Amino acid sequence: MNKPLSMTGQKVMLVPQGEFELVRNPRDELLQAWDAADEFLLNHLDEIKVRSRHGKLLILNDAFGALAVALANHPVYSWNDSCLAQQALRDNLLANGYPSDQVKTNPGIHFPTVAVDCVLIKIPKALALLEHQLYALRRVLHSDTRIIAAGMARNIHRSTLNLFETILGPTATTRARKKSRLILVERDQSLNEGQSPYPDSYELQVDRTTYRIINHASLFCRDRLDRGSQLLLENMPAADRFRRIVDLGCGNGVIGIIAAALNPGASMLFCDESYMAIASAEENFQNAFARSRAATFRVDDGLQGVDSDHHDLVLINPPFHQQHSVGDATAWQMFKQARRVLTAGGELRIVGNRHLAYHSKLKKLFGNCETIASDSKFVVLSSIKQK
């Protein structure tokens, strides 16, 4: 059931802490900026009066700032790997009468080092990210720190609970409420052995060159090259006319690195909304080219702030999900941004799942779309910006 709309068209979250107008980033009018797990957690906090008993709060993976906004009257630090999530938090703080910097956020991949009194965790899509975060949390917990995780029941598995129990201590789960659950964690101070195994890496062989690919914890396919990217690499354009190339939504940077190797005279721009992705891409590029090549790396909302009509080639392996939600809003925004920054005659080349029908979207946006290659699951498409 959809929540009521405010006068501005934003959906309103009704919880014990108040009524809050919230939007997603990127905007999607069909989806709301919080889920039943957020509501369950905020109701639980009100029931146990955690705000009156605890001081500093650390919130992890708060996708659009619903938790941080509802608790913004308290000292709150919000850590998120996504700059889109951080922008959504700032937008939602302003929409609800708070300064945009009311809640402290991380400027990169590093966790806060100050001790906190309560940790709230939304279960992320990547189990590796949760594992990395739980190890990092050991540095900021004290003996009385309360730890509560929340997620939709379908996303909480035995493997999820095993991570908490192995790294932090015993857990208990609540009964399901609106298909969501809470995980209540008791810190066992004797569990201090081991450390995060991330970033990890794998070797990639392209032609006669071997690349060591570093991957931080939030990245997709950390142990191998995914089949979609492989198909795009097999059909990578190389031409003297490509002088300025963009790897948009670059992840670990593999696509851009191979494009750079095939186009030695081109300048490279790597963009992603993930801090861990850009950290991985930058390290991988340096490992591949040492000081022989320079590149620009941007953590941003796609190509926001990038000059229009400036680049010759944009390469994308677009995501079709944002956390646990599936959709094409992010991909569609990336396609529009790519068209804006391309020069006349510039090319957008993408790989995507066949069933997502990107061909029709690109033809509508560019007026043309050519199928370059395909297999049973993926398709490589090319569109040219007309003069």
Q: Are 278 and 256 in contact (CB under 8 A)?
A: no
pLDDT at 322: 47
Give the C-alpha separation, 375 to 126, whole Å: 27
Exposure string (b/e) for 208-219, b if CB count within 10 Å is 16 or more? eeebebbbbbbb
Looking at per-residue pLDDT, the higher value among 31 and 174 belongs to 174
pLDDT at 26: 78
Q: How much of the chain exceeds pLDDT 90, in percent?
A: 78
Q: Which domains does the chain have, with CATH numbers?
A: 11-185 (3.40.50.150), 200-384 (3.40.50.150)
Looking at per-residue pLDDT, the higher value among 322 and 269 belongs to 269
Which of the listed ranges 53-57, 284-288, 290-294, 320-324 does the model predict with the highest average pLDDT? 284-288
The pLDDT tens digits for 108-137 are 898 888 889 999 999 999 999 999 999 999
Answer yes or no: is pLDDT of 51 > 80: no
pLDDT at 2: 46
pLDDT at 7: 41
The pLDDT tens digits for 77-114 are 999 999 999 999 999 999 999 999 999 999 889 888 88
Confidence of residue 1 (pLDDT cuts 50, 70, 90): very low
Strands 200-206 and 209-215 come out as antiparallel
User: What is the enclosing helix (H) or strand (E) of 317?
Assistant: none
Confidence of residue 31 (pLDDT cuts 50, 70, 90): confident
CA distances 301 to 24, 313, 341, Å, are 13, 19, 14
Give the C-alpha separation, 47 to 5, whole Å: 27
The average pLDDT across 208-228 equals 92
- 254-262 helix and 275-289 helix, angle to the nearest 10 degrees: 30
The average pLDDT across 156-168 equals 97
Least confident of 45-59, 68-82, 99-113: 45-59
pLDDT at 303: 94
Answer yes or no: is pLDDT of 162 > 60: yes
The average pLDDT across 236-257 equals 93
Answer yes or no: is pLDDT of 11 > 60: yes
Please give the mean pLDDT across all residues of the chain: 91
Tokens 């009156």 belong to residue? 52
pLDDT at 221: 82
pLDDT at 50: 65
Structure tokens, 319: 């995501």
User: pTM of the full predicted structure?
Assistant: 0.92
* Other residues' Cβ atoms within 10 Å of the Cβ of residue 342: 24
Answer yes or no: is pLDDT of 10 > 70: no
Exposure string (b/e) for 296-309, b if CB count within 10 Å is 16 or more? ebbbebbbeebeee
pLDDT at 53: 47
Q: Which of 255, 248, 203, 251 is nearest to 231 (CA)?
A: 255
Least confident of 2-6, 186-190, 255-259: 2-6
Q: Which of 212, 369, 220, 227 is nearest to 289 (CA)?
A: 212
**H/E/C letters for each residue in 84-123?**
HHHHHHHHHHHHCCCCCCCCEECCCCCCCCCCCCEEEEEC
pLDDT at 223: 84
Answer yes or no: is pLDDT of 151 > 60: yes
Least confident of 21-35, 211-225, 333-347, 356-370: 21-35
The average pLDDT across 313-330 equals 72
Burial label, 175 (beta-carbon count in 10 A; 0-12, 13-18, 19+) = exposed
Looking at per-residue pLDDT, the higher value among 319 and 123 belongs to 123
∠ CA 18-23-24, rounded to 5°: 130
Answer yes or no: is pLDDT of 33 > 90: yes
pLDDT at 112: 87
Assign 333 to helix, strand or coil. Answer: helix
Give the C-alpha separation, 285 to 317, whole Å: 18
The average pLDDT across 156-183 equals 97
Answer yes or no: is pLDDT of 224 > 60: yes
Amino acid at 12: V
Hey, CA dihedral for 144, 183, 34, 26, is it positive or negative?
Answer: positive
